[in-house]
Copies of this chain bind each other. A is one copy, B any other.
Amino acid sequence: MNIPKSNFSDWYNEVIYSAGIVDIRYPVKGMPIYTSWGFGAIRKSFAILEELLEQTGHGQMLFPLLVPEDLFGAEGEHIKGFGGEVLWVTQGGNETLERKLAVRPTSETIMYPMFAQWIRAHTDFPLKVHQTVTIYRHETKATKPLVRGREVYWNEAHSAFRNEKEAEESIREGLQIYSEFYATLALPFTALVRPDYDKFPGAKYSIAFDILMPDGKVLQAATIHNLADNFAKVYSIQYDDEKGEKHYAHQTTFGLSMRCLAAAIGVHGDDKGLILPPAISPIQAIIIPIPGKEEKESAAVDAKAKEVKAKLEGAGIRVHLDCSEKRPGEKYYHWEMKGVPLRIEIGPRDIANKKVMLALRTGGKKPIDESKLVEATRDAFAEILKTLEEKAKKELEGKISKAKSMDDLKKGTGIFTAGWCENQKCADEVKTETGGVEVRGFLFDKKKEKAKCVKCGKDGTLAYWAKAY
């Protein structure tokens, strides 16, 4: 790494390319290749998320990519919200299609006509599904790999319930799932109810997870929407209750994208490169044999390295032995840059002492007894996670400040709390005057605190503000 992390934007672009996260040279704007190190970390992350969804009763399905125009347009606000960003398939072979097909920007309009078929009676609830797919948005803004692009790898959960109360419980379940998910990535967040003008098109309200990046901007890294019965009315998702009376279903939807990796890279990385949380690193421990002065010594080291590898693999740890021709120092540099959380060094002296050396990517080296290898490795992972988490929490806390005036908003960086009259006009003016500081919303489920609007001075509510990606 030639670029220090203090130069965050350039550092990010360098590290995602050097570490093999993405390659942006594919000739369609905003459609990078997710190369194997990056896609491996994304898949590990998503496997954690998918497991959390399965445990809470969401069944994994796969719905089509393409939506006929009439289905897509049925929910008026929804199409208004996405209309300008939709890619359309209009041609099949050399023929023009009779109905053009939207390439999904999200799957409400694909799934809900099916929900209407599946839901008949009150016994059909809850209906909880999820899928991991790519979605498409014809972005006109500048793209940034993993952050903003035209092809987004994500997981979306969609559920339907009998009534408002059950939908509200689902919202809390979603918050819990995403909180557990981000805990395994050691990423603190703010979960905020977005202002009405910024909610998901067609939703009653939207909650979004914001993660603070090192440049002081926040990254929206997951969303949870209460759709009430808005879509149910459009797509006729109705059921008979115990008395035979008809009601509309209440729905929720959650989404989380490959941005989770952008956040992990941004928050945890350092001047040497990435630091991946153990749960999502494609390789959790890299073994580096340190050759001896004599061939015999080196042979013993190699044999021991293989033994250590087998032992860790047997314990379900993702481990790799680097027996390339490079010098140990070069190997250190390479795997540090890629963010492997733990390095295990084995040299002739270690063998003599029945020890191996653990070097944590978050800092610190310690010799451990070979007999305690698996246990010590697991402890090291826990320590790394804790170190990352504490550091990230401290950074976040240090960058949340109270802004009492427009000047505070203009001069500070990070996340601000400041009063807002809940009028979009004021929010827009603040954004223009501060060069981007915008209302991110209110804490969910907390009593709202009164505060004078930072722009107009009228009565208002304490809100969260930040520049955002």
Which residues in A have some Cβ–Cβ distance to B below 8 Å? Answer: 23, 25-28, 31-36, 39-40, 42-43, 59-66, 68, 71, 83-94, 100-101, 103, 110, 113-114, 117, 129, 133-134, 136, 138, 151, 153
Q: Which of B36, B59, B62 contacts A153 (CB 8 A)?
A: B62
A91 touches B88 (CB 8 A): yes
Q: Kindly list chain B residues whose C-beta atoms are within 8 Å of the C-beta of A25.
A: 114, 117
Subset of 8 A-B contacts with CB under 8 Å:
A23-B117, A25-B114, A25-B117, A27-B113, A28-B68, A31-B64, A34-B63, A62-B134
Task: List chain B residues, Cβ under 8 A from A117.
Answer: 23, 25
Q: Are B27 and A68 closer than 8 Å at their CB atoms?
A: yes
Q: From B59, B68, B84, B151, give the contact of A65 (CB < 8 A).
A: B151
* A80 to B43 CA separation, bound complex (whole angstroms): 35
Q: B residues within 8 A CB of A90? A: 88-91
Please give the distance in Å from A152's CB to the nearest CB on chain B.
Answer: 11
Known pairs A33-B114, A88-B89; list 18 more (Cβ under 8 Å). A23-B117, A27-B71, A27-B113, A28-B64, A28-B66, A32-B64, A33-B63, A34-B63, A35-B59, A35-B61, A62-B153, A65-B134, A65-B136, A66-B87, A66-B151, A88-B90, A89-B90, A93-B138
* Bound Cα distance from A17 to B266, whole angstroms: 46
Given contacts A27-B68, A117-B23, contact A36 B93 (CB under 8 A): no
List, in ascending order, chain B residues with CB within 8 A of A32's CB. 64
Provide the bound-state CA to CA distance between A63 and B134, in Å: 11
Residue of B nearest to A64 (CB): B31
Which residues from chain B contact A153 at a C-beta distance below 8 Å? 62
Contacts of A100 in B (CB 8 A): 91
Given contacts A84-B93, A93-B85, contact A114 B60 (CB under 8 A): no
Contacts of A40 on B, CB cut-off 8 Å? 59-60
B39 lies within 8 A of A60 (CB): yes
Q: A93 and B103: CB pair below 8 A? A: no
Measured CB to CB, the closest approach of chain B to A316, in angstroms, equals 10
Residue of B with least CB distance to A140: B93
B33 touches A62 (CB 8 A): yes
- Name the one of B89, B114, B151 contacting A26, with C-beta atoms under 8 angstroms: B114
Nearest-CB distance from A340 to chain B (Å)?
Answer: 16
- Do B84 and A87 touch across chains, with their CB atoms under 8 A apart? no
A92's contact among B61, B93, B101, B138, by CB below 8 Å, is which?
Answer: B138
Q: Are B94 and A84 in contact (CB under 8 A)?
A: yes
Report the bound CA distance from A94 to B114 in whole Å: 28
A389 to chain B, nearest CB (A): 28
| Contact for A89 among B68, B71, B87, CB less than 8 A | B87
Distance of A148 from chain B, by nearest CB (Å): 15
Specify which chain B residues have a CB less than 8 angstroms from the CB of A36 in the assembled complex. Answer: 59-61, 129
User: How far apart are A454's CB and chain B's nearest CB, in angstroms?
Assistant: 35
Query: How far is the CB of A395 from the nearest CB of chain B, in Å?
Result: 30
Contact of A66 (CB < 8 Å), options: B31, B42, B113: B31
> How far, in Å, is A52 (CB) from chain B's closest CB?
16
Checking B43, B89, B110 against A103 with a beta-carbon cut-off of 8 angstroms, the contacting residue is: B89
Which residues from chain B contact A68 at a C-beta distance below 8 Å?
A: 27-28
- The docked-state distance in angstroms from the alpha carbon of A61 to that of B20 is 10
Measured in the bound complex, the distance between the Cα atoms of B90 and A90 in whole Å is 6
Find out whether the CB atom of B64 lies under 8 angstroms from the CB atom of A33: yes
A87 & B92 in contact (Cβ 8 Å cutoff): yes
**Complex CA–CA separation, A85 to B91 (angstroms):** 10
Please give the distance in Å from A142's CB to the nearest CB on chain B. Answer: 16
Contacts of A91 in B (CB 8 A): 87-88, 90, 100
Name which residue of chain B comes closest to A35, CB basis. B61
A134 / chain B contacts, CB cutoff of 8 Å: 62, 65, 133
User: Which of B35, B61, B83, B87 lies in contact with A33, CB distance below 8 A?
Assistant: B61
Most buried by B among A62, A133, A134, A136: A62
Within the complex, what minimum Cβ distance (angstroms) separates A113 from chain B? Answer: 7
Q: How far does the alpha carbon of A27 sit from the alpha carbon of B99 in the complex, in Å?
A: 11
Residues in B neighbouring A62, C-beta threshold 8 A: 33-34, 39, 42, 134, 153
Q: How far is the CA of A68 from the CA of B84 in the complex (A)?
A: 21
